[in-house]
Amino acid sequence: MRKNPAIKLLDLFGQSVNLLKNNRALYLPFVIFFLIEFFFLIIIFLSSRIPLSYIFNPIVKAFWGEQFIHFPLNFILLPKIASFSRLALSVVIGSLLSGMATLITANIYYKKSVNLENSFFKTLKKYIALFFILFVLNLILYFAFKLIGLVLFKYFSRGSRELFFIPLRFWSYGPIPILMNFSIAAFCQAAFIYAIPFVMLDNVKPIKAIIKSFALFFRYFRITFTLVILLMLIYLPVLILNMKTIYLIENTFPEFIMIVTILGSILSSLIIDPLLTVASTLLFIKNKETV
């Protein structure tokens, strides 16, 4: 089957920005997710204080140790708990809102009327499929990160001081873990990126949607992967800062960790996710006849 003429990435970004700028209804799902995530961040921030401490302190003690319920070490744990919170929210709530944004994007593209209530209930009917897709994606990411960490731990625990001629310190605390996690996250995100459009716009079942998303990803590997990488690079400074919590506490002030975490939420929920969702939906629509 003949492919469409090449789509320019800059044009795709431009169209995505214009759609978001000119259609408030399209941006609303992402604002809702940000507000929900921000509420949970506040809960996490206050979790070491009474009365929330009665609930959260036993959990922190059980999983990480008693030292992390006390100031300032509680801020070292904050990015990790915030990451778990975002992961859960992205599966439970983000799946629904992403599906809704995908449907709204398609309606705008095809010059159909946009009705938020109608879009919500249409998406709600496919919630289980959307939940499944995001659950599988995050499960793969979780075990991929764990597997790499375990392999590196096993390798260096045998007494080796370098890998591929690179010293241990670069594998443990340097840029390599950041680069590896970033690359895995980008690849998995790109591979799953068309699954929600397949469910929402073509009524494909979730498992088949994932398979077809992989196929479309590899068909348009360069533009899809570049799209994801460029948008994820926006978040890279926050990722680096989150891995340097001890340094930040020692050289700034503990509460600065909370500022970084909120900044990460703003970048993810209000910039990266909207552009990624809209751009991938437009890319899907423009190329789906080649699937």
Interval 263-273 mean pLDDT: 94
Whether the pLDDT of residue 4 is over 70: the answer is: no
Interval 262-289 mean pLDDT: 91
Whether 212 is in a domain gets the answer: yes
Give 9's pLDDT tier (boundaries 50, 70, 90). confident
Four-residue CA torsion sign, 131, 137, 142, 146 = positive
Q: What is the residue type of 150?
A: L
For the chain, the average pLDDT equals 86
Whether 3 is in a domain gets the answer: no
Question: Is the whole-model pTM more than 0.85?
Answer: yes
Per residue in 47-106, pLDDT (tens digit) is 888 888 878 888 888 878 777 787 777 888 888 888 889 999 999 999 999 999 999 999
Whether 19 is in a domain gets the answer: yes
Whether 4 is in a domain gets the answer: no
Q: Which residue has the higher pLDDT, 4 or 239?
A: 239
Whether 87 is in a domain gets the answer: yes
Give 168's pLDDT tier (boundaries 50, 70, 90). low
Whether 1 is in a domain gets the answer: no
pLDDT of 6:
53
Percent of the chain past pLDDT 70, that is, above it, reads 91
- The domain of 99 spans 9-290
Sequence-separated (6 or more) residues with CB below 8 Å from residue 280: 193, 194, 197, 224, 227
Interval 2-7 mean pLDDT: 50
Whether 176 is in a domain gets the answer: yes
Give 256's pLDDT tier (boundaries 50, 70, 90). confident
Q: Name the domain count of the chain.
A: 1
Percent of the chain past pLDDT 90, that is, above it, reads 52
Per residue in 185-234, pLDDT (tens digit) is 999 999 999 999 999 999 999 999 999 999 999 999 999 999 999 999 99
Which two structure tokens, joined as six digits, stand for 85? 């919170």
Host H or E run for residue 162: strand 162-163
Whether 96 is in a domain gets the answer: yes
**Cα distances (angstroms) measured from residue 81 to each of 9, 32, 68, 73:** 35, 21, 12, 13
Which is nearest to 188 in space by CA: 126, 231, 234, 141? 141
